[in-house]
Structure 1
Amino acid sequence: MKTDDKKIVKDYFNAVGFERWRNIYGDGEVNTVQKNIREGHKQTIETVVNWLKTDENLSELTICDAGCGTGSLAIPLAKEGATVYASDISEKMVEEAKTQAQTALGENHNINFFVSDLEAISGKYHTVICLDVLIHYPDQDIQGMVKHLADCAESRFIISFAPKTFFLTFLKKVGEFFPGPSKTTRAYQHSEAEVIKILQDNGFEIKRQGMTSTKFYYSRILEGVRH
């Protein structure tokens, strides 16, 4: 990945983006669009947590939450007994996630937090999860990012992304006509077929699929398991 791509994301989430997304992921006052995004993100988290709970072995798993944000996935997984390794490119996000985890789980929780971009994550984990992160990176970066995370996953890889469809592309183009705070932010959509191919090329087959659709939030969720 180009250094500039990572720097843009890192700088954004350590500055204005941190406050914006902390509010969206939290429970404070937000505008109508942000509230809709909050609900969509919550639904995506619930889908993934329910998948893993259904398997009834969370307490036996090590899970890498790649791009953990404020801990909205790591915390419920830890509550269910998983050992979680949660990272984010933003130091501010990681500090907020630590605070949220201490509030929800106490001081001696089973989440290991660290600051890292996706391509610097190391180690092996039963499951690697990367939710709502790819939207910040263009197509040319995705293959390398997904391959690296796939190499860290011993058994399962769960990923979500904004699907590239004619309708969503049209909505984004419409949004670009509006100036000021209403203007669309830097966001990328990705071809589902291409993401599936990358997973298959790295030894995974698709087991479960999900889709979250709200008025301002669209996320395709794929679970790949090793052959």
Structure 2
Amino acid sequence: MPTAEAHASQLKSYFNGIGFERWSAIYGSDPLPSVRRSVREGHNRMLRQASAWLGEHHAPGASLLDAGCGTGLFAVAMARQGYRVTALDIAPRMLETARAAARQAGMDEAIQFVEADTGTVAGRFDVVACFDVLVHYPRELFIDYCTQLARCTDQT
């Protein structure tokens, strides 16, 4: 098993290259082949459900960490609803796309962007969201990263 640092380096390289191309297409609106289209539909359904849950359990103004924010879909949507959002991603290319989406939505001042590995996140948040991220980690790191994210909030 690679060390956490070595794995983070591999992920950063992947999500600045081919991973960016693949995932930004899924997060986008251009036509996709059927398998990727079904991934997009599932991802969008998950974000809608998370948004609804957040609205039921936390009032606007609550602090939210979007760990592995990708192109910023969830971060921008939650900032629009009045949440205090920190958008974290390991890949500068993903963060730049998220920043551009926030600027276009007029939300760039409402979101704090952080380039970091999910396993190194620090701080306290009312809510921690982490979509389509931990699947990219081996089991040993997965458990450590889940624990680290859980330490960032008192919520269950």
Give the alignment's TM-score, normalised by structure 1. 0.64
| 2:123 partner SS | coil
Letter in 1 for 2:70: G
Quote the Cα distance in structure 2 between the aligned partners of 1:16 and 1:129: 24
Quote the Cα distance in structure 1 between the aligned partners of 2:87 and 2:69: 6
Counterpart in 1 of 2:130? 130
Quote the Cα distance in structure 1 between the aligned partners of 2:107 and 2:81: 16
Quote the Cα distance in structure 2 between the aligned partners of 1:107 and 1:38: 23
Counterpart in 1 of 2:103? 102
Asked if the contact 2:102–2:108 (Cα under 8 Å) also holds between the matched residues in 1, the reply is: no
- 1:120 maps onto 2:117 in alignment: no
- Residue by residue, what CA displacement relative to the aligned partner does 1:28-65 show, whole Å, maximum 9, x if unpaired? 132221111111100111110000112361x2301111
Counterpart in 2 of 1:77? 78
Q: Name the structure where helix makes up a greater proportion of residues.
A: 2
Structural mapping, 1:180-219, within 5 Å: none
| 1:112 partner SS | strand
Counterpart in 2 of 1:2? 4
Quote the Cα distance in structure 1 between the aligned partners of 2:30 and 2:49: 23
Quote the Cα distance in structure 1 between the aligned partners of 2:104 and 2:30: 16
- Count of residues in correspondence between the two structures: 154
Structure with the bigger RCO (C-alpha within 8 Å, sep 6+) is: 2
| 1:81 partner SS | coil
Q: CA deviation at 1:110?
A: 1.1
Asked if the contact 2:67–2:88 (Cα under 8 Å) also holds between the matched residues in 1, the reply is: yes
Give the alignment's TM-score, normalised by structure 2. 0.92
Asked if the contact 2:62–2:84 (Cα under 8 Å) also holds between the matched residues in 1, the reply is: yes
- 1:23 maps onto 2:25 in alignment: yes
Question: Structure 1, unaligned stretches of length 5 or more?
Answer: 157-224
Q: Identify if the C-alpha distance between structure 1 residues 56 and 17 changes in structure 2 by more than 3 Å, giving closer, same or farther.
A: closer
Question: Structure 2, unaligned stretches of length 5 or more?
Answer: none
Asked if the contact 1:78–1:109 (Cα under 8 Å) also holds between the matched residues in 2, the reply is: no
- Residue by residue, what CA displacement relative to the aligned partner does 1:88-124 show, whole Å, maximum 9, x if unpaired? 01000000001111112x1654111111101221111
Letter in 1 for 2:13: D
Asked if the contact 1:88–1:94 (Cα under 8 Å) also holds between the matched residues in 2, the reply is: yes
- 1:68 maps onto 2:69 in alignment: yes
Quote the Cα distance in structure 2 between the aligned partners of 1:93 and 1:3: 19
Q: CA deviation at 1:15?
A: 0.6
Letter in 2 for 1:123: G
Letter in 1 for 2:102: A
| Identity across the alignment (%) | 35
Asked if the contact 1:70–1:97 (Cα under 8 Å) also holds between the matched residues in 2, the reply is: yes
Root-mean-square deviation (Å): 1.4
- 1:51 maps onto 2:53 in alignment: yes
